[in-house]
Structure 1
Amino acid sequence: MDRVTVSLDELPIRDDLRGQKPYGAPQAPLPVALNVNENTHPVPPEVADDIADAVARALREINRYPDREFLALREGFAQYLGHGLDASQIWAGNGSNEVLQHVLQAFAGPGRSAFGFGPTYSMYPLLTSGVGAEWIGGTRGHAYELSPEDAAEQVERARPDVIFLCAPNNPTGTPLPLDVIEAVYDASHGIVVVDEAYQEFAPRDSPSALTLLGGRPRLAVSRTMSKAFAFAGARVGYLAADPALIDALRLVRLPYHLSALTQAAAGAALQHATTMLRMVDEIVVQRDRMSATLEALGYRPSESWTNFVLFGGVADPAATWRALYDRGVLIRDIGIPGHLRVTAGTEEETTAFLEALAEIGAR
């Protein structure tokens, strides 16, 4: 059969998707990959064994559809999150991106809009365009901060149907005070999603937006297992909200969207939350070490409550990125002038990055 090749523009693609590029970070088989905010620590053997056993048991009934409502997993997430939550207040999907997509499918769409304060997670605009809604970008202060007054004023002007608040923020690492979330909620009429993908890396005494859920039926708090639980390859994200909001997400999800294997693996991993969170403490040590050394090298690291560091003072980000690449270290150029972003890895990976960067600076 002859192969027919045409350009994307020759296909009857939606007009609002023309010219767009798919999400993606560079992938390369380098010894030290610190570019996509993964948890680079391997899953402990005893945890991996329990996950493998749970998946093996699920395989015995793989000929049957999985539990459509994944009740056992929702109960596990509710128990992990605490705050008096129960299964009726929990939703889950194949990564938090799918969970956020469900929110947009239910509450955005053609003729509606979604909003976020830039710079922020680059998937928000892409997910928004995917459902045919308009993306509206807000702004942050010079240190990427937000005040309650400014945030509320921007939301009142935009009048969006869905608002994304990344807390702590990606790609900057910036914390988000609860009073900003409260102000945005009060200023809006739409759904407010607080994306807490990196909350486990914040100081232990910092309150979660989960504390704000009571009496706020338009508020949702999303999490992921990709970061703290070293589960990026399994693709599991989840969300807590009022039961009515959860019911809305059921209207748009695909049937049996969480496989039996995914449910089994995630449920087994949750049983080892204490073990997995000990890895978080190790990562925070490397993050703070990274920030201190970057500052000593003359760069300007931003405050980070995540597992990565955004650092400024980079004269030529593209050249620095390439010089690190040539030394076997992969980090991320996220498009902010004069800045690069690096994930906090193991002690050995962090050392490799810092030594490579110091060598570049000494040339």
Structure 2
Amino acid sequence: MTSLDDLPVRADLRGKTPYGAPQKTVPVALNVNENTHQIPEAVAHDIVQSLVVAVLGVNRYPDREFAVLREALADYLNRDLVGDQRLTAANVWAANGSNEVLQQVLQAFGGPGRSLLSFEPTYSMYPLLADGTGTGWIAEGRDEDFELSPDTAASAVRRHDPDLVFLCSPNNPTGTPLSLETIEAVYDATRGMVVVDEAYAEFAPDGTRSALTLLPGRGRLLVSRTMSKAFAFAGVRLGYLAAAPAVTDALRLVRLPYHLSALTQAAATAALRHSDEMLAMVDDIRVQRDRIVMRLTELGYRPYRTESNFVLFGGVRDPHAVFTALLERGILVRDLAIDGCLRVSAGTEAETTAFLDALAELDSTA
């Protein structure tokens, strides 16, 4: 039987491993930062009706420029922007999940002989996307408690002179927020493209300024978002970014023809019509996240600062044993191989209660 080693795989991919978050059927899955709240039923019916209309036209290719969706995404982002910060459809790009958005960015601005810098621990897909596009991967460390100061970030940029910098804000897997001052310092220190990955931006405290506010006058700055998290749309696969129109022109050079299906465009556009209803669940998720932080502290763990929909917590004597014990109780969290740490997503009230009660029970029997 032919094995992977027998195939003429690119030399730089040999020995690599694919993305591999555990996929298990359990009563309480809190391991991949999903929004565990279902879409409101009335919204779901409207989305289905939009899909019915779209299906009647699937004998034709979809709109290659997904103009209606881009306009809807710009309108959504403009809710928190004023004046020259406001975006038009020309500033917006979308793809099948933010991973594909980032892949297209690397295809356009990375590649052989070019490099991508980020700060670990961070989103595990960044080095995989770099590998897939032949882009050199450079990993620098963070400050204490997984923070990232302007000086630390800018110094690393000047030291390595990368072609791209990826900044995750809030950071995955730590939940750490990133200051606009750090983003500005990185931008000013580099000649390359700076991508701020705001996949979890909607879970930040009300009034938090997005990196979107920094876009005017910064043609090398890109801000990536997703509908997977706050919009509970992980299964639809819709990611997007905002940037100068010249950036979207560059991404057209590498995107596949008609890369967003008519069904994806219809579903996402319909969901955006109901953004207020879709985002209503965010407040509950933040309540459960803060509840997790408070209870973990009471149990003697060390939850790290988070503005996402998950909590990384330290003080775990044997993370693998705790992970396994929770799994035996039907609760799936994430063991990220960060020393003494586990990560848990904020679920519904019932799911969060199940996790916290199980963890307290393990502590009482330890």
The TM-score with structure 2 as length reference comes to 0.97
Shift, 1:6, TM fit:
2.1
Secondary structure, in 3 states, of the residue corresponding to 1:68?
coil
Superposition pairs of residues 281-292 of structure 1, within 5 angstroms? 281-292=283-294
- Asked if 1:79 is matched to 2:71, the reply is no
- How far is 1:9 from its partner? 1.3
**1:38 paired residue number:** 34
Task: Output the amino acid matched with 2:352.
Answer: T
The letter for the 1-side match of 2:12 is D
One-letter amino acid of the structure 2 residue matched with residue 218 of structure 1: R
Alpha-carbon offset, residue 227 of structure 1? 0.2
- Whole-angstrom distance in 2 between the partners of 1:47 and 1:146: 39
Give, in angstroms, the shift of residue 10 of structure 1: 1.3
What per-residue deviation string (whole Å, max 9, x for no partner) do you get for residues 80-115 of structure 1? 000310000000000000000000000000011101
Alignment of structure 1 residues 259-270 onto 2, 5 Å: 259-270=261-272
Contact 2:143 2:152 (C-alpha < 8 Å) held by counterparts = no
SS in 2 for 1:138: strand
1:133 aligns with 135
The residue that corresponds to 2:48 in the other structure is: 52
Distance (Å, rounded) in 2 between the aligned partners of 1:94 and 1:150? 33
User: Which consecutive residues of structure 1, in runs of 5 or more, have no partner in the other structure?
Assistant: none
Letter in 1 for 2:61: Y
Check if 1:316 corresponds to 2:318: yes
Residue 236 of structure 1 aligns to which amino acid in structure 2?
Answer: L
Counting only pairs closer than 5 Å after superposition, residues 75-224 of structure 1 correspond to structure 2 as 75-82=71-78, 83=81, 84-224=86-226
One-letter code of the match for 1:247? D
C-alpha distance in 2 between matches for 1:217 and 1:185: 10
Among 65, 69, 74, the residue aligned to 1:69: 65
Mapping for residues 220-235 of structure 1, pairs under 5 Å: 220-235=222-237
Moved more, 136-145 or 99-108: 136-145
Aligned residue type for 2:143? G
What letter is aligned with 1:148? Answer: P
Matched residue, 2:353: 351
Is 1:248 the counterpart of 2:250 in the alignment?
Answer: yes
Code of the aligned partner of 1:153: S
Judge conservation of contact 2:31–2:333 (CA < 8 Å) in 1.
yes
- What corresponds to 1:328 in structure 2? 330
Choose the corresponding residue for 1:24, options 20, 23, 37. Answer: 20
Q: How many residues are aligned here?
A: 359
Structure 2: any 5+ residue segments left out of the alignment? none
Runs of 4+ displaced beyond 4 Å: none
Deviation track 1:246-279 (CA, whole Å, cap 9, x = no partner) reads 1000000000000000000000000111011110
Q: What is the identity, as a one-letter code, of the residue corresponding to 2:66?
A: F
AA at the equivalent of 1:166: C
Q: What fraction of aligned residue pairs are identical, expressed as a percent?
A: 65
SS at match of 1:232: coil
- Deviations along 1:148-206, one digit per CA (max 9) or x if unpaired, are 11210100111111110000000000000000000000000110000000000001111
| Deviation at residue 63 of structure 1 after TM alignment | 0.4
Tell me, in whole angstroms, the C-alpha distance in 2 between the residues paired with 1:157 and 1:50: 52
Deviation at 1:7, TM superposition (A): 2.1
Letter in 2 for 1:20: K
Please report the RMSD computed on the Cα atoms of aligned residues, expressed in angstroms: 0.6
Q: Could you tell me how far apart the structure 1 residues matched to 2:3 and 2:327 are? A: 31
Equivalent residues in 2 for 1:7-22, closer than 5 Å? 7-22=3-18
Q: What amino acid does structure 2 have at the position aligned with 1:80?
A: Y
Distance (Å, rounded) in 1 between the aligned partners of 2:188 and 2:347:
39
SS of 1:298's equivalent?
coil
Asked if the contact 2:309–2:345 (Cα under 8 Å) also holds between the matched residues in 1, the reply is yes
Q: Give the counterpart letter for 2:241 in structure 1.
A: L
Task: Report the TM-score when normalising by structure 1.
Answer: 0.98
Letter in 1 for 2:17: K
